[in-house]
Structure 1
């Protein structure tokens, strides 16, 4: 007998089930780095896909620029020394080596005092240009051998004279992952609550 329209073969899933399976985030729950990356990626997805904010890559671009410049100095030293063998390349090698280590120092200071764990800067621009651009700066911390994930969001509505407010929470990752290592909707609910607190003008610590 011919298969009726809408009938599924054995083992075949419907479209909604396929989408749900595709969206599931499953990781090794004993891997702290994987846990943090999964949670950070979920926060980024909530802000860019659910709220339709635009991610600003300025912080990452600056870091990449520093790294590329340092690597370029090292590569230039390598090529120059190949074309002009030591000792003819001595002063160029010294300059490039000092430049490389100086830039690595700059990179360390930059990631420590400027990035400070920031993994997302999201902006919301009024489509008609009447309201100023709102900025959300998101930071997270999950220390090694610790199950407590700290999420902090700073918010500035862009109005002249307005102050940046902050909301945060610290919870065990066990609240959000099931026994199979799948990220549940509870995490998105917590992030949404934090977002809504900021938009309502409330500040939490």
Structure 2
């Protein structure tokens, strides 16, 4: 649900919106728990930290899917205008292309996205230097309660990457009703951020 928020200054925290209801899930559903925590981490970086979400990864996936669907539609239209067997060569090309693109999509999600659910751009206050990039990925194994969160910081100036991670039980962040306790989860996200930024200063 969209809320009337003003843009936040990076690093600052805004008061909670009274209409911003806590995320509530089935606490026995591992996928729902992971998605809720992913949404919570995204909320901290984007809504509270003033970063801007980048959709380039998702756009890449959508582009591959769009091209694949385009081949399927073209094959359908061509077969309608020139019924089989006249349409056979075009159908073969379209079907092969479709399955090749599905293979590319599988490789893209497995090796390019790799569980990434957020790429956030931290804008330079002066608007001169390139954006710093925060990349978050996570996984929660089936029948396991340990939520693994990986955070990568890419320095806009040097393009150097620093990485850290967290592994905590999902029970640490949800109450008995299955509501995400953001006030308990947010400090963990801040710790990861601080550790990466302190590494930057040390360098």
Which TM-score band applies after superposition, normalised by the shorter structure? 0.7 to 0.9
CA distance in 1, matches of 2:178, 2:39: 15
- CA shift for structure 1 position 129: 2.5
Aligned pair partner of 1:179 in 158, 165, 176: 176
1:103 lines up with 2:74 in the alignment:
no
* Counterpart for residue 3 of structure 2: none
* Counterpart for residue 5 of structure 1: none
CA RMSD across the alignment: 1.8
Runs of at least 5 residues in structure 2 that lack an aligned partner in the other structure? 1-14
Runs of at least 5 residues in structure 1 that lack an aligned partner in the other structure? 1-15
1:19 lines up with 2:18 in the alignment:
yes
* Counterpart for residue 66 of structure 1: 64
Aligned length: 185
* Counterpart for residue 135 of structure 2: 137
**CA shift in 2, pair 1:86/1:71, >3 Å:** same
- CA shift for structure 1 position 142: 1.0
Q: Residue deviations 1:146-187, cap 9 Å, x none?
A: 111100000022223x52111111111011111110111211
* Counterpart for residue 89 of structure 2: 91
| Greater CA drift, 125-134 or 111-120 | 125-134
Which structure has more relative contact order (CA 8 Å, sep 6+)? It is 2
CA distance in 1, matches of 2:130, 2:194: 18
Structure 1 segments of 4 or more deviating over 2 A? 129-132
**CA shift in 2, pair 1:95/1:135, >3 Å:** same
